[in-house]
A and B are shown apart, each in its own frame.
Chain A
Amino acid sequence: MSEIILMGLNHKTAPVQLREALAFTEEEAFTALAEIKNLENIKETLIFSTCNRMEILFVSQECPPVDAVDSIKNFISEYKKISISQFDDSFYTYFGDDAVKHIFRVASSLDSMIVGEPQILGQVKKAFRTSVTGNSSGVILNRLMHKSFNIAKRVRRETGIGDHAVSISYAAIELANKIFSDLTTKSVMLLGAGEMAELAVEYLITNGVKNISIANRTFCNAVTLAEKFNGNPIKFEERQAMLEEVDIIISSTGATQCILNAAEVKKAMRHRKNRPLFFIDIAVPRDIDPDINKISNAYLYDIDDLNNIVNDNMEERHMEAVKGERLVEEAVVKFRRWLENLKLVPTIVDLKAKINSITEAETKKTLGHLKNLSEDDIAGIERMTRAIAGKLMHDPILFLKNIGDHRDHALYLSIARQLFNLNNINGHKADTDLH
């Protein structure tokens, strides 16, 4: 009996050194897949490797699943030149439904370090593409992966796992959007430099902010940054004067004292006719006078405030993730149903049922028009239609029963089901998305 198996490690089970040692680049994955194809226990394979996880998803041949697991472990050990004992403890192995559930959870970002982070789906898709290019994916993995893309999109759409910012920089942008209605008409001033501050500026640019001024104690640095963001470098001493023009101020300098105080902002407020000002202070120690938040139409958020938002949002995501888990469970059940239908007996039963329903319906229709037939004639016609149907189906059924050990049963059964459109009679959706 072939089985879907997933094994690997992730940020929860393995330290970064081990994850690094076992990571596959895209090229490595490609060559590894080609080698795995030659293993006799394995039918279909996909290697999924990111900085937080390395997982191999595969379908075993007709053999005890444990044998297939061992072949993969041996392969990893040889390919990565690392003894099994070094990674065995960190490895998890899931069979059947559990494997399906795991890949669904991974694709939906429910298993991620930051729940709901959106990159993972793209990475899963890329891994699948590699597997398809290398001809390592077959009817089962194709279906499984497409379903995982679907469930991932559904979880994102129907739950709030991706709704709120979980990074400092992004939280600042969300706030800016609650203060200003249209960021494209706003301008921003960056004081100092730093990863988080620059990231916030980048987010603002993607949100349409065009006018960016950059001030730095070292003017030269301001010029460099201004080139990067396509902004205007300004002198550090100009910062107070700029308060009349800009709307958002992001500060991240190494200053030990406040570089903007409340009196200066109050004065600027009068000149700018109380148009709102939003201060984002990412520096430690703080750059901007906390009293500024008391001025009306001026809003100040420092790093702690932003951290609080991020923590709250994290909690919210975890709550939303519970809904996501429910959707995943549902998808697992549906997938199992499809997989069970891919077996020989249900396929033959469905095939016979379909042919019988057609012949019965057509016979009934024809006999309805023919009024002058005797009972015997009717019985004869009915016998004939059944015989035609039976003879027609004889060879295909015989073929399905003797597909041969060296061939992929799932593929032939899947084709048979599509050829006769059997997936609709059970009330399931047609497998139009199989290939």
Chain B
Amino acid sequence: METANSAMIMLSVAALLYLASCATYFLYLFFQKDSMQKTALWLICAGFLLHFTAIGIATYTMGALPVKNLQQTFFIASLALAGVFIVLQYRLNLKILGVLVSPLIVIMMAAAFLMPETVSANEPALKGFWLVAHIIMIFTGEAALAMACGTGILYLIQENAIKKKKRGFFYSRLPSLDLLDSTGYSCIASGFVMLTFGLITGFIYAKSIWGKFFSWDPKEIWSMVTWLVYAALLHGRLTSGWRGKRSAIMAIIGFTILIFTFLGVNFFIGGYHEVFTR
């Protein structure tokens, strides 16, 4: 109980750091001072470290990744988002991305805190290497795809400004179309790879527990749909040059389906994944 409490305190502090980072990012959006963007990034990094430690402690005490209810799932998902964002931020020079990602992290953290903490039975099914790999890969993949959706939105805003010749608030604050497009593509490509491995490990895990790879569970079906959408997008880009606006719209549609797979299926349809999202 002691460690659970300290984990919760750490999570709260991490949430506050994310909030501070989000506020700093908005200051950056308005005043365009590089120092603000740097501060915001440091705040997110600090939040991530605390967050990571808290989840680590929880995993250690429970003996398994804490994904037993929707609250825990949200904590993991926001951790993945922050982690993937930090990695991408260092790899790609897209300073404005934090303006979209940091509020998303804050919203997910807030949602997690507001959710009732349901106690679920300690199912033995929720352990093992394949499951851990499945969870980590699915969440990092989803985080990367969320970022692709974000850059897609930014792309559409900037494209509209240039096409319609109406340069508004965002025009000077957003980078070039090229950079937004290529960033979105990198996010989708890496997200897709993670998603693919996530699904494969999921199948292997299913085989080891239930004896079959695919059991026509709604979540499984929708995951495949999501995977196919992104596969189509990447295929289109590589073969017939689907880029720019079309690619941005596809990234947004793909992420909408992904959100549905992540939450909607549990709420509206059900299935054995439902257990984790009660």
- Which residues of A approach B to under 8 Å, CB–CB? 164, 175, 177-182, 270, 272-276, 293, 296-297, 299, 301, 305, 308-309, 312
Nearest A residue to B158, CB-CB: A178
B161-178: which have CB < 8 Å to A?
162-163, 165, 167, 171-172, 174-178
Which of A179, A270, A293, A309 interacts with B176 by CB under 8 Å? A179
Tell me whether A275 and B163 are in contact (CB under 8 A).
no
Q: Do A299 and B167 form a contact, CB below 8 Å, given A177-B176, A180-B176?
A: no
- Chain A binder among B108-116, B243-251, B270-278: B243-251
Residues of B within 8 A of A312 (CB): 167
How many residue pairs, one in A and one in B, have C-beta atoms under 8 Å apart? 51
A293 CA to B164 CA, complexed, in Å = 9
Q: How many residues does chain B have at the interface if contact means C-beta atoms less than 8 Å apart?
A: 21
Tell me whether B243 and A179 are in contact (CB under 8 A).
no
Residues of B within 8 A of A164 (CB): 172
A181 CA to B151 CA, complexed, in Å = 15
Tell me whether B244 and A297 are in contact (CB under 8 A).
yes
A312 CA to B178 CA, complexed, in Å = 25
Residues of B within 8 A of A301 (CB): 165
Residues of B within 8 A of A276 (CB): 177-178, 244
B264 at the interface (CB under 8 A from A): no
- Supply 19 further A-B pairs (C-beta < 8 A) apart from A181-B178, A274-B241, A274-B244: A175-B162, A178-B174, A178-B176, A179-B176, A179-B177, A181-B175, A181-B176, A181-B182, A272-B241, A273-B240, A274-B243, A275-B241, A297-B243, A297-B244, A297-B245, A301-B165, A305-B165, A309-B167, A312-B167
B260 at the interface (CB under 8 A from A): no
Tell me whether B163 and A293 are in contact (CB under 8 A).
yes
B179 at the interface (CB under 8 A from A): yes
Tell me whether A299 and B182 are in contact (CB under 8 A).
no
Residues of B within 8 A of A181 (CB): 175-176, 178-179, 182
Nearest A residue to B238, CB-CB: A273
B242 at the interface (CB under 8 A from A): yes
Q: Give chain B nearest CB distance to A246 CB in angstroms.
A: 15
Q: Which of A275, A276, A305 neighbours the largest number of chain B CB atoms within 10 Å of its CB?
A: A276
Q: Give chain B nearest CB distance to A314 CB in angstroms.
A: 14
Tell me whether B245 and A296 are in contact (CB under 8 A).
yes
Tell me whether B162 and A178 are in contact (CB under 8 A).
yes
Q: Give chain A nearest CB distance to B32 CB in angstroms.
A: 10
A8 CA to B245 CA, complexed, in Å = 56
Q: Which of A180, A272, A273, A293 neighbours the largest number of chain B CB atoms within 10 Å of its CB?
A: A273
Which of A177, A178, A180, A274 interacts with B242 by CB under 8 Å? A274
Which of A270, A296, A308 interacts with B165 by CB under 8 Å? A308
A181 CA to B174 CA, complexed, in Å = 12
Q: Give chain B nearest CB distance to A10 CB in angstroms.
A: 31
Q: Give chain A nearest CB distance to B103 CB in angstroms.
A: 25
Residues of A within 8 A of B243 (CB): 273-275, 297
Nearest B residue to A176, CB-CB: B176
A189 CA to B133 CA, complexed, in Å = 52
- Which residues of B approach A to under 8 Å, CB–CB? 158, 162-163, 165, 167, 171-172, 174-179, 182, 240-246
Residues of A within 8 A of B178 (CB): 179-182, 276
Which of B171, B240, B241 interacts with A178 by CB under 8 Å? B171
Residues of A within 8 A of B245 (CB): 296-297
Q: Which of A178, A275, A309 neighbours the largest number of chain B CB atoms within 10 Å of its CB?
A: A178
Q: Which of B178, B179, B242 neighbours the largest number of chain A CB atoms within 10 Å of its CB?
A: B178
Residues of A within 8 A of B244 (CB): 274, 276, 296-297
Q: Give chain A nearest CB distance to B164 CB in angstroms.
A: 9
A177 CA to B162 CA, complexed, in Å = 11
Residues of B within 8 A of A272 (CB): 241
A179 CA to B158 CA, complexed, in Å = 9
A293 CA to B159 CA, complexed, in Å = 12
Q: Do A299 and B163 form a contact, CB below 8 Å, given A177-B176, A180-B176, A181-B178?
A: yes
Tell me whether A273 and B241 are in contact (CB under 8 A).
yes
Residues of A within 8 A of B171 (CB): 178
Residues of B within 8 A of A180 (CB): 176-178
Q: Do A299 and B175 form a contact, CB below 8 Å, given A273-B241, A274-B241, A274-B244?
A: no
A178 CA to B179 CA, complexed, in Å = 9
Residues of A within 8 A of B179 (CB): 181
Residues of A within 8 A of B175 (CB): 178, 181
A270 CA to B240 CA, complexed, in Å = 8
Residues of B within 8 A of A309 (CB): 167
A296 CA to B248 CA, complexed, in Å = 12
Q: Give chain A nearest CB distance to B160 CB in angstroms.
A: 12
Residues of B within 8 A of A273 (CB): 240-241, 243
Residues of B within 8 A of A296 (CB): 244-246
The 7 closest A-B CB pairs, nearest first, are: A273-B241, A181-B178, A181-B179, A274-B241, A181-B176, A297-B244, A180-B178
A308 CA to B13 CA, complexed, in Å = 49
A99 CA to B196 CA, complexed, in Å = 72
Q: Give chain B nearest CB distance to A381 CB in angstroms.
A: 54
Residues of B within 8 A of A275 (CB): 241, 243
Q: Give chain A nearest CB distance to B30 CB in angstroms.
A: 14
Q: Give chain B nearest CB distance to A268 CB in angstroms.
A: 12
A115 CA to B242 CA, complexed, in Å = 44
A36 CA to B245 CA, complexed, in Å = 67
A301 CA to B162 CA, complexed, in Å = 9
A346 CA to B255 CA, complexed, in Å = 73
Q: Give chain A nearest CB distance to B268 CB in angstroms.
A: 35
22 contacts between A and B (CB under 8 A): A178-B158, A178-B162, A178-B176, A179-B176, A179-B178, A180-B177, A180-B178, A181-B175, A181-B182, A182-B178, A273-B241, A274-B243, A276-B177, A276-B178, A276-B244, A293-B163, A296-B244, A296-B246, A297-B244, A299-B163, A309-B167, A312-B167
A340 CA to B9 CA, complexed, in Å = 60
Residues of A within 8 A of B158 (CB): 178
